């Protein structure tokens, strides 16, 4: 397919969401190609997985920038530009971003967070969901804005919280939903169907119940 958007996936760890995106992008009619996987950690397991699939990888080790977050981001951005990247997908990229990178990629950078935003921003979302006794938990794909885990929501997936759940069992159920909604959300963004309108994301053609902007898993 011509005009596939060139995507960079930014990771810090095992890269299971990255794998779900790579696998979706193998479909010939998918509107994006994963052109680059970049990590701030040389030891991130996802780098090897991407490399094994013949995808270009890069490392910008944040520790070499000694706390200068913007200098780190400038180095990341230079690589994104050099590779002709058009969309940036954060998939377990464990760095707080400065306004510099957020503004460089405004409305062209998306993130996945393992909770139903705006609930449970930040870390340890599954433990906190269990502590609060919520009955539904899940994951959210959103455009990245200056605030952490904030920005217009593209897609959400919900899972029931079971009495027997531990943080690990809940995390596994949420992760499975992440792997379904992230490729769908990227598809909507790369095809230009999902557009930011103020605080909301409008899907061109309107949202039908069958639209892939939400998912409720059994």
Q: Which residues are catalytic?
A: 113
Separation in Å, CA 113 to CA 28, 36, 80, 150, 174: 28, 21, 22, 10, 10
Largest CA distance in the chain: 50
Q: Rounded to the nearest whole angstrom, what is the least distance from the CB of residue 17 to ligand GRF in the complex?
A: 3
Give the number of residues in contact with ligand GRF, rule: CB under 6 A.
15
Q: Under the criterion CB under 6 A, does residue 92 sit at the interface with ligand GRF?
A: yes
Stretch that binds ligand GRF, among 1-9, 35-43, 61-69, 111-119 (CB under 6 A): 111-119
Q: Rounded to the nearest whole angstrom, what is the least distance from the CB of residue 2 to ligand GRF in the complex?
A: 29
Q: Under the criterion CB under 6 A, does residue 178 sit at the interface with ligand GRF?
A: yes
Enumerate residues 6+ apart whose C-beta is below 8 A from 212: 155, 181, 184, 185, 187, 188
* Contact positions with ligand GRF (CB under 6 A) in 38-77: none
Residue closer to ligand GRF, measured from CB, 50 or 85: 50
Q: Rounded to the nearest whole angstrom, what is the least distance from the CB of residue 200 to ligand GRF in the complex?
A: 22
């Amino acid at each position: 397919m011509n005009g596939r958007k060139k995507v960079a996936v930014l990771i810090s760890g095992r890269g299971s969401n990255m794998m779900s995106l790579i696998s979706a992008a193998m479909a010939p009619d998918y509107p994006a190609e994963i052109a680059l996987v970049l990590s701030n950690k040389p030891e991130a397991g996802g780098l090897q997985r991407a490399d094994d699939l013949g995808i270009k990888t890069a490392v910008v080790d944040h520790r070499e920038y000694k706390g200068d977050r913007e200098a780190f981001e400038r180095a990341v951005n230079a690589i994104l530009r050099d590779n002709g990247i058009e969309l940036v997908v954060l998939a377990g990229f464990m760095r707080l971003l400065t306004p510099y990178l957020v503004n460089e990629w405004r409305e062209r950078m998306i993130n996945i967070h393992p909770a139903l935003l705006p609930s449970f921003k930040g870390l340890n979302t599954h433990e906190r969901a269990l502590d609060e006794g919520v009955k539904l938990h899940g994951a959210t794909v959103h455009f990245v804005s200056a605030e952490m885990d904030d920005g217009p929501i593209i897609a959400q997936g919900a899972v029931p919280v079971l009495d027997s759940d531990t943080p690990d069992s809940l995390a596994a159920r949420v992760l499975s939903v992440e792997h379904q909604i992230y490729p769908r959300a990227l598809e909507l963004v790369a095809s230009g169907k999902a557009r930011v309108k103020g605080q909301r994301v409008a899907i061109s053609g309107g949202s039908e119940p069958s639209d892939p902007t939400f998912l409720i898993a059994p």
